[in-house]
Amino acid sequence: MDIVIITGPFFSVPPATCGAVERVWHDLAHQFAKKGHRVLLLASGGEGVPAEERHGSLRIRRGIRMRSTKNIQFNLAKDAVYALSLLQRIPAADVIVTNAFWIPVLLPVLRRQARTVVSIARVPKGQMKLYVKAGVHRLAPVSSAIQRMVIEECAEAEGRTHWLPNPIDTKAFVPAPGRRSSESRTIVYTGRVHPEKGLDILLQAFALTAKKRQDVRLRIVGPWRIEEGGGGRDFVDGLKSMAEGTPVEFVDPVYNRNELAEILQAADVFCYPSTAEKGEASPVAPLEAMATGLVPVCSDLPQYRDYLEPEVNGVIFDHRGEGAVQRLAAQFERLLKDEKLRLRLGEVAAKTAENYSPSKVADLYLQDFEKLIRQ
């Protein structure tokens, strides 16, 4: 097959600084090429990275890059400029995959016979009817929860919607080679430092935990700058003020996956307390933690449930309403106290994560591409 992948305007693909979605499609592009397909990956540019690369049957071409803002309308306008800049660079293909907002709407202008696939890694916000009208062949949410939301938004999409999971790097994210240190306990969060991630709940719950235990610390690892998807300087400074007097460490984003895996391997509990009911799609951070044998403690969002089974390979807490802080603190205390429980849940978590290797997920996509081509 000839496959074209088009990522969005705000992040490039490795080795440039990139977001989780861009890293996912970079990994899948390499897998498609390894499996014998011709692949072109069109991405935004990045400082210090080449405009074009070639890796066997995979070509990567980088174009203009936009800076994300807090204003959604500005971002959509920038996405439109980006899409128009790429339009004439899209060659004939069997399948065109994109997560950019306007590309699916503009593709019919090219009058190509390619099957078009839209990867949906966010909660839909009104664009599904637009995509159906444009003739998109496949809407591919990254979780069953988002698939339900797509169909609720646009009933006509049901016959062309099929959810496909995000992969993780199962070579980098592996269980710790030895037992974790028993001298201290570390709770870790990795992800965007943004208001929708529930980090205020995490800090308050950790403060309650630290009052009871002198051997516990918290590490918050991730980007906080607005252009990197974070909440900005004022937000992170507010979190640091909230954390004063407790053993909390804020760590700048770690984009090297082996280094990030080492941070996870050195921890005892992973927490992802997102409150983004209308923001999360299928976060890879909890799954990466699971791959290292960490027990994920997650908020009660349905977007996790394709891979997280409560009390089997992870733990959830009700993040809604009063008492959320106390409920999260109770889960911390329970897991930190009970080593056998942590190890049991962590072992199952690591086995679960093995099913999300780039190769296995790529096979799922390729099977769906072939089905679309035969239709």
| Tens of pLDDT, residues 220-249 | 999 999 888 899 999 999 999 999 999 999
Same domain, 31 and 6: yes
The CATH number of the domain where 132 resides is what? 3.40.50.2000
Count of CB atoms situated within 10 Å of the CB of 105: 18
Same domain, 202 and 101: no
The pLDDT of residue 68 is 84
Placement of tokens 């044998």 in the chain: 293
Going across the sheet that includes 38-44, the strands are: 52-55, 58-63, 38-44, 2-6, 95-98, 115-120, 138-141
Strands 115-120 and 95-98: parallel
| Any domain includes 211 | yes
**What tokens does 66 get?**
């936009």
| Any domain includes 244 | yes
| Any domain includes 177 | no
Counting residues of the chain whose pLDDT is more than 70, the rounded percentage is: 99
Same domain, 199 and 296: yes
Same domain, 131 and 252: no
| Any domain includes 180 | no
Nearest Cα to Cα of residue 288 among 144, 125, 170, 200: 170
DSSP class of residue 68 equals -
Walking along the chain (375 residues) 10 residues at a time, the average pLDDT comes out as: 95 84 95 98 89 95 87 91 91 95 90 90 90 96 94 94 96 83 85 96 98 95 91 96 97 93 95 88 92 96 93 96 96 95 96 97 98 93
Same domain, 118 and 43: yes
From CA 59, how far away is CA 61, in angstroms rounded?
7
Nearest Cα to Cα of residue 131 among 114, 118, 112, 115: 118
| Any domain includes 324 | yes
What Å distances lie between residue 232 and 192, 229, 237, CA to CA? 11, 9, 9
From CA 182, how far away is CA 364, in angstroms rounded?
40
Residue 363 structural domain: 2-167+357-374
| Any domain includes 292 | yes
The pLDDT of residue 179 is 58
From CA 369, how far away is CA 373, in angstroms rounded?
6
Helices (H) and strands (E) in the chain, counts: 12, 13
Instruction: Tell me how far apart the terminal alpha carbons of the chain are, to the nearest angstrom.
Output: 15
The pLDDT of residue 180 is 58
Same domain, 342 and 362: no
Same domain, 113 and 199: no
Same domain, 23 and 56: yes
Same domain, 134 and 283: no
| Any domain includes 287 | yes
Domain count, the chain: 2
**What tokens does 90 get?**
């899209």
| Any domain includes 223 | yes
Same domain, 160 and 206: no
Q: Are 271 and 189 in contact, with CB atoms under 8 Å apart?
A: yes
Same domain, 83 and 29: yes
Please list the residues that pair with 42 across neighbouring strands.
6, 61
Same domain, 206 and 287: yes
